[in-house]
A and B are shown apart, each in its own frame.
Chain A
Amino acid sequence: MREITFAEALGEAIYEEMEKDPTIFTYGEDVAKQGGIFGAYKSLLGKFPERIFDTPISEEVIYGSALGAALVGMRPIAEFHFADFLFTGIQSITLQIEKIRYMTGGQGKLHLLLRGPDGISNSAAAQHSESIETIFMHTPGIKVIIPSTPYDIKGLIKTALRGDDPVICFEHKMLYKTKGPVPEKEYLIPFGVADIKKEGNDVTVVTMSRMVHESLKAAKELEHEGISVEVIDLRTLVPWDKNKVIESVEKTNHLVVAHETWKRAGWGAEIASVVQEEAFDSLDAPIVRVGGKNVPMPFNSLLQDFVTPNYKDVIKAVKKVLR
């Protein structure tokens, strides 16, 4: 199968859907001329000049206009420049986008997609490195998708562009250039279906985004020590595939949840809570979470490495639950 990058797969998904659906248009800061600050739209450069355009730096306006456009029947894809900046326009999202469908009794469909980069990069410091997906898991009313591979982002974005609900998609900065197999034939990936990226018997690691790759690396190293790790990529956080996680825990009896966002009240806590509520008798050890240290991201690259979880932390966590 051909291999393309994460960014190319994203571009393909958007391009294919724009060709089919004239109501789709996409905009944000530096998307049209630059192709996105991390090259997310590089493959879309020069395409659909009327429907892909740049906006001024005003998050409130970007998200708010998407809301308005969706309400009048368009399918906007609005890019947030950095996930960190979602907070600057947060009220459009948490007060309006998440609520309108409910407050109108379902009269207003809200097919809009917010998407953009999150996570660490090389010393981007405290305001440009955050992963804040948990906020949108906590506040109901928006679907949250966080793909980790080119294959997944293409299938999930296409699904998002065909639904009637608002969706937010987090794309890890370090993933845009990663390559992976993507079939040329069209496919869609439904929301709420986790993907077992690696099967194993001794411990289940539930993870998403960049940490999927760290977990797979950890699993490979642990394999040499005779420890068989099952890596589950949730792919979508709202809704998340509870059944697959519980089935896996029933098999392995051990669970680690790994994410880059802060450990404190990160979404791993929610997964851990649900598993102990619903599969208590299958647990042979306390659930262990892997997450970022509870501090704003330092600029210093050594310190960034220190607070950000990687495969070594996953290995440590696995060994802790199997101790």
Chain B
Amino acid sequence: MTHNVACASGVELLMDYLEGVLPADLKADVDEHVTACERCTAFIASYRETPRIVREATEFELPKELGDSLMAFLRAKRGPPRG
């Protein structure tokens, strides 16, 4: 079976394509389109970079004092040791 993959329909398949869950025939059609389409090649590059850019921009470190106060809070809530 052949599918008529345009940029728009290819984009809708992109996550499945990159995760390797597309049926083989559909994957081959997407491959064929992407190989010949510089716009899709550029779109996919930026689509793949987006999670990393967002991840690195939203790194939050647990402040040490918050870790300490969490443990103190949990100990207080739990009360004296069981058993």
State whether these chains interact: no
Residues of A within 8 A of B (CB): none
B residues with CB within 8 A of A: none
